[in-house]
Structure formats: structure tokens, C-alpha cells
Amino acid sequence: MYSKIIGTGSYLPAKVLTNYDLEKIVDTTHDWIFSRSGIAERHVAAEGELTSDLALQASLRAMEMAGVKVEDIDLIIVATTTPDQVFPSTACILQDKLGVRQGTAFDMQAVCGGFVFALNTADLYIRGGQARTALVVGAEALTRLLDWTDRSTCVLFGDGAGAVILQASETPGILGAKLHADGRHRGMLEADARIANGKIEGTPFMFMDGQAVFKFAVKVLAEVVDELLADLKLQYSDIDWLVPHQANIRIIEATARKLGLSMDKVVLTVGQHGNTSAASIPLALDTAARAGQIKPGQKVLLEAVGGGFVWGAVLLNW
């Protein structure tokens, strides 16, 4: 038994915040942001618009493409760093909003690596016979973790959601995955707030050591792709498309060079979406799928790195 993606969906909040808008609220410029990140604009969730609301819209679109109904779904995994509330999980909230009354649902917290971790988990559920039709979602309202006076972080992130339907298949879809974590590097990217005795302890804002994250990301992404391809006995030339975590154009370009891929074989949405953490890969995947860029039978590489530190890659047949 294998698992295969049969539908994709995405959703972006209506509000668009451009670099020129940011020039009015923080000491920065469009040129400074764009030259360092490739980001021109990002979307911001409306007041009262929750992560589960973003996830719901992306899920409905993925289900429509896949032709599945709520009665078909027996596993829901939501990858998110910005859950609706402390508990229950955003996945259970999404399950209720969709009207799914069977199966199981839970969240996956691996920050920007969340979607590849969630996709691998759903694949293992299906291969093990514990699920047949899985809804895997990456959804984030990251702008609520931003200090809008900190130009090193507030210019980089946005809100959104992406989803896929993964279903049991007799032919290989997901070919393999390789995941890693190393908590020694957790201080490079974090939001260390916690709730105790009715109060917030620590800082609720995101902190990032940008230079350290960049160097680490370029190194480990190259390594994990090499590991995965070695396991599968494949070469760089076997990869038709790269759908990377949309964090920074420089990291993406460095990864493409390592793989010997021209940038016209790389799905890029960072310019319009910013870094949407766990939502970035499924958002990009849906964008490419609906544009007809990715063709049946092509091999697609997904890769991501995020706070933890965590990193991983998934290779699949489209």
C-alpha cells in the first residue's frame, strides 16, 4: 500500500501588506526587504480570523479538487505554530467545522518544517493501514507573533493555509522522506512565551538570529536531500520540480544550485506570500498544481527547515 496526493487547496486572507506599507510603520524600505528576502508582499489575517478558519477554506478547496466528501476523511493533521487556543487542537476544531465525525485528528508542531513532518506522518498512517484518506494542512496566523517595531522579523512573515488530500494508492505517490531535529539550536529562532497562573511569561514575540539561521538552513537542506536521494538510489537529475519552504529567496537559490536545478524548475511564491511557516509548502504546491506546472508522473521534492531546529525532505510522484 502506498499513499498519493489527489487534491490540493489553499487560502490567503484578504488583506495584503506590501513592503511599501511597511515603510510607513517601521524603519525599512521595499528595496532593503526585497533584495534580502525576495518578498514584496504578504497577507494578514483579519481580526477574529483564526488559524482554523484559514485551514477550513484551504481544506474545502483540496477536498473539491480531490472529489472527496467529509465521510471519506479518516485522518486530519494540522501543522501549525499558531493554534487557535491552548487546547483542544486546531485539528479537532477543523474537524468540527468540516463536519467530519470519524477518524482521528491532531496537530503537528514543527514550525516551518511542520508540513513535511505532517505529510510523512500521514503517509505512515496510510501505509500502515490505519487510515485511507488523510487531510494534511499547514495553516498559520504568524503575524500575531510579530513585533511590528522589529524590522528583522516583521517584514518576513505572513498568514495563510494550504492543504492536500492524501489517499491510499496501489501505485507509489510518496516515495520517501527524511526528517531530522537538533534541539541544541533552538535559541536561533523562537517565541518563548508561556502561560502560567493566568499570565504570559517570557516574550510573546518571535526572535530570529537571521545570519545563523541562513547558514544553518543552507547546510542542512543540502545534506538532507543527499540523504533522501541516496536512500532512494536516485540522482539530482531525477528531480523535476523543487517545492521548497518559502522563507528566503537566497536560501532557495542556494538549494537549487546544489541540486543542479534551474530556477524555472523551482516553485516560487515567497514574493507574494512571505514566509508562512508550515503553510508555505502546501500553498506553493497548490499554486503550481492549479497553474498546471507540475505534470503527472513527475518527481517533486519538498524540503523545509524551521525552529527547533528541525529539517526534512519528502520526494513524491505527482
> Can you give the pLDDT at residue 213?
96
How much is the mean pLDDT over the chain?
97
Q: What is the pLDDT of residue 131?
A: 98
Sign of the dihedral through C-alpha 96, 88, 74, 60: positive
245 is catalytic: yes
> Annotated catalytic residue: which of 43, 112, 248, 317?
112
Type of residue numbered 298: Q
Q: What angle in degrees, to the nearest 10, is found between the helix axes of 51-66 and 280-290?
A: 30
Whole-number pLDDT of residue 227? 98
3-class DSSP state of 302: strand
Burial of 170 (0-12, 13-18, 19+ CB in 10 A): exposed
Q: Cell numbers of 243, please?
A: 517545492
Residue 256 in contact with residue 315, Cβ under 8 Å? no
Over residues 123-163, the pLDDT tens digits come to 999 999 999 999 999 999 999 999 999 999 999 999 999 99
Residue 316 bridge partners (DSSP): 174, 300
Q: Kindly state the cell numbers that stand for 274.
A: 512571505
Residue 148: predicted pLDDT: 97
Q: pLDDT value at position 65? A: 98
- Residue 107 parent element (H or E): strand 104-108
Whether 154 is catalytic: no
The residues facing 43 across adjacent strands are 16
Nearest to 17 by CA among 28, 2, 7, 3: 28
SS3 284: helix
Q: Give the three-state DSSP class for 317.
A: strand
pLDDT tens readout for residues 48-93: 999 999 999 999 999 999 999 999 999 999 999 999 999 999 999 9
Domains of the chain: 2-171 (3.40.47.10), 175-317 (3.40.47.10)
What average pLDDT does this structure show over 302-317?
A: 98
**How far apart are the C-alpha atoms of 83 and 54, rounded to whole Å?**
11
> Would you place residue 108 in the very low, low, confident or very high pLDDT band (cuts 50, 70, 90)?
very high
Given strand 104-108, what is the order of strands in its sheet?
2-11, 159-169, 133-141, 75-79, 104-108
Query: Mean of the pLDDT values across residues 23-52?
Result: 97
Question: Is 112 considered catalytic here?
Answer: yes
pLDDT of residue 257: 94
CA 89 to chain CA mean position, Å = 18
Give the pLDDT of residue 120.
Answer: 98
Angle between helices 210-232 and 249-259 (to 10 degrees): 30
C-alpha span between 190 and 66 (Å, rounded)? 36
Single-letter amino acid, residue 276: T
Residues 156-205: tens digit of each pLDDT: 999 999 999 999 999 999 999 999 999 999 999 999 999 999 999 999 99
Phi, psi dihedrals of residue 139, rounded to the nearest 5°: -145, 135
Catalytic residue among 19, 120, 248, 275: 275
The confidence score (pLDDT) of residue 122 equals: 99
Q: What is the pLDDT of residue 101?
A: 98
Rounded distance, CA 270 to CA 203, Å? 27
Give the pLDDT score at 172. Answer: 95
Among 154, 245, 273, 317, the active-site one is: 245
